[in-house]
A and B are shown apart, each in its own frame.
Chain A
Amino acid sequence: MKRILVGIKRVVDFNVRIRVKADNSGVITEGVKQGINPFDEIALEEALRLREQGLAEEVVAVSIGPPDAQNQLRTALAMGADRALLVNHAGVIEPLDAARILLKVAEREQPFLVLLGKQAIDDDNNQTGQMLAGLWNRPQATFASTLEIREGIARVTREVDAGLEVLEIDLPAVVTADLRLNEPRFVKLPDIIKARKKPLDTLDPAALGAAPRPRLTAVHYAPPPARQKGQRVKDVAELVASLAAKGLV
């Protein structure tokens, strides 16, 4: 079976402006709206399009997270994933541990392509795909803005600091989605109902042979330093005068 594995991380919704707990022990996530990491929606959309073009037969969504991450997996199923896997783990998961778990899942599922987001917008790490590819000893193409699959290879355009880079990689491989890869579809109500019947299995990280072993300690959380309140200027002349007074022009 030509299979694509897609990472789906449950994160605080991108519209929420998070706040740090008063005792500096973390950020407040209780009662805050959660959703699929936006880059993972893009990764999933790309996988669905490849299946729709006949280039893949099955799309499997995998999330490492608490039982509540089933909600995000149900959304992924409603978008069109064929089945879903929850790797049950409450609490923080370092990218290396996520990559170790994804490797075990990849070894079981034998995908020709693993599509992840370029970064999770909670911890902003931008590491998991690269780590998975390293552990798997397979190619990686990060920051993808176009993806073309041919017999056994992929051609990927990457959004890099210098502009657009094109790589050719042998499959299987790991590709991480950037914002401009596509625009994810909206979920329709009948799809949500259909998704309830799709298979969603739960796995245990230790049983997979990849129990998380966090090695970094977050000792303190703080809000960012606040900027000083600015001023309104009434017109261009006042703007230029203000800037000139500060030596900025």
Chain B
Amino acid sequence: MNRILVIAEHDGRRLAEATARAVACAQAIGGEITVAVLGAEVAEPARAAASLAGVAHVLTFAAPANAHALAAVQAPQLAAVAVSFSHVLAPSTTFGKDLLPRLAALLDVPALSDVMAVETATRFRRPIYAGNAIVTIEAGELRPILATVRLASFEAVATGAAAAAIEAVAVPPELPAHTRFISVTSQDSGRPDLATARRVVSGGRALGSAEKFQLVHELAAVLGAAVGASRAAVDAGYAPNDLQVGQTGKIIAPQLYVALGISGAIQHMTGIKDARAIVAINKDPDAPIFEAADYGLVADLFEAVPQLIAELRSRGR
């Protein structure tokens, strides 16, 4: 039987929804699912992991050294338990992408990045070339199979299942001290989380300044949407880096994606391929974004967006 270890992402208080999506991938593989929770504070995230549908066991690794997710510190702890599993999964977030390959190296096995579909317990599909091709990979006899899970491809499993057993793992006292956490700064926009939001409004270079980028926030507020940005908008300082959507930013799958003044470069489009509906407002009728947009409006965004806000408000949003 497959024994699948899913590495949890959390902030010490809340379990990230990314974890529940990685568990969904584990369910698609099929087998007994264990979630590993590493942290200084693990009680809350462990409890949340234990109540995810399909989870049979939770392993906690509580230690001050785990207060911040440092791959160099966490990979050796996971390597000690990983050998008894057939699969080890982590979400394909900056957390999982940082950690899983290091763990793979310690185990001397390859890793699969961004698994988007499970064909069999050893055969997986993943995107390459910014999503312009999908490759099917067979891992054969290799164990454990390590993979990061592309979040946009899996719906989070339900929570509220009968609680799984939580077991504490003894953390070795000697852990690398060559990597030290200094700080993290995040701009809390007060808007929904971009990675998992049902609606997203993104702005591009056309917004022209951080002040004018507020228009994107305004429309997002009316729609109850998260805010995103193109690389050009982030590079220009209109929006912080964690709002970048695309090949090298976040890959998202909202129900509704609204692109304002974004040209539609392949690196951007790869981030929104799985969006249910794409709306594009761009003044250039030949902008490539219109090839992928479900609803395209050729217009100056500085005229169209205020109208759109007014129209949505008048509909009682």
With A124-B113, A138-B178 already in contact, the answer to whether A224 and B102 are too (CB < 8 A) is: no
Q: Among the listed stretches B34-42, B44-52, B206-214, B305-313, which one makes contact with chain A, having 4 or more residues with CB under 8 Å of it?
A: B305-313
B131 interface residue, CB < 8 Å from A? yes
Interface centre among A133, A138, A248 (most CB of B within 10 A): A248
The 8 Å CB contact of B101, one of A12, A134, A139, A240, is: A134
Whether B180 pairs with A169 at a CB distance below 8 angstroms is yes
A193 interface residue, CB < 8 Å from B? no
**Distance A242 CA – B278 CA, assembled complex (angstroms):** 12
Per-residue interface assignment for chain A, residues 169 to 197, with 1 indicating a CB less than 8 Å from any chain B CB and 0 otherwise: 11001000011100000000000000000
Whether B296 pairs with A233 at a CB distance below 8 angstroms is yes
**Distance A119 CA – B249 CA, assembled complex (angstroms):** 12
**Distance A246 CA – B294 CA, assembled complex (angstroms):** 11
Interface centre among A142, A161, A173, A237 (most CB of B within 10 A): A161
Q: Among the listed stretches B55-63, B134-142, B162-170, which one makes contact with chain A, having 4 or more residues with CB under 8 Å of it?
A: B134-142
What residues of chain A lie closer than 8 Å to B112, measured between beta carbons? 216
What residues of chain A lie closer than 8 Å to B185, measured between beta carbons? 163-164
A189-227 at interface with B (beta carbon < 8 Å): 215-224, 227
A150-168 at interface with B (beta carbon < 8 Å): 155, 158-168
With A165-B181, A170-B178, A249-B317 already in contact, the answer to whether A18 and B129 are too (CB < 8 A) is: yes
What residues of chain B lie closer than 8 Å to A141, measured between beta carbons? 179
Whether A179 pairs with B308 at a CB distance below 8 angstroms is no
A71 interface residue, CB < 8 Å from B? no
Whether B180 pairs with A167 at a CB distance below 8 angstroms is yes
Whether B130 pairs with A124 at a CB distance below 8 angstroms is yes
Whether A160 pairs with B111 at a CB distance below 8 angstroms is no
What residues of chain B lie closer than 8 Å to A232, measured between beta carbons? 290, 296-298
Q: Among the listed stretches A44-52, A80-88, A93-101, A104-112, which one makes contact with chain B, having 4 or more residues with CB under 8 Å of it?
A: A93-101
What residues of chain A lie closer than 8 Å to B139, measured between beta carbons? 215-216
- Size of the A side of the interface (Cβ < 8 Å), in residues, is 82
B71 interface residue, CB < 8 Å from A? yes
The 8 Å CB contact of A168, one of B109, B182, B315, is: B182
Whether B240 pairs with A96 at a CB distance below 8 angstroms is no
**Distance A129 CA – B98 CA, assembled complex (angstroms):** 9
With A163-B241, A219-B136 already in contact, the answer to whether A126 and B312 are too (CB < 8 A) is: no
With A133-B72, A159-B242, A161-B195 already in contact, the answer to whether A249 and B315 are too (CB < 8 A) is: yes
Whether A230 pairs with B292 at a CB distance below 8 angstroms is yes
The 8 Å CB contact of A161, one of B183, B250, B256, B276, is: B250
Binding site for B on A (CB under 8 A): 12, 14, 17-20, 27, 94-96, 99, 118-119, 121-135, 137-143, 145, 155, 158-170, 173, 178-180, 215-224, 227-228, 230-237, 239-240, 242-244, 246, 248-249
Binding site for A on B (CB under 8 A): 11, 70-72, 75, 93-95, 97-106, 108-114, 123, 127-140, 142, 176, 178-187, 195, 223, 231, 234-235, 240-242, 247-248, 250, 255-256, 266-267, 273, 276-279, 290, 292-299, 304, 307-308, 311-312, 315, 317
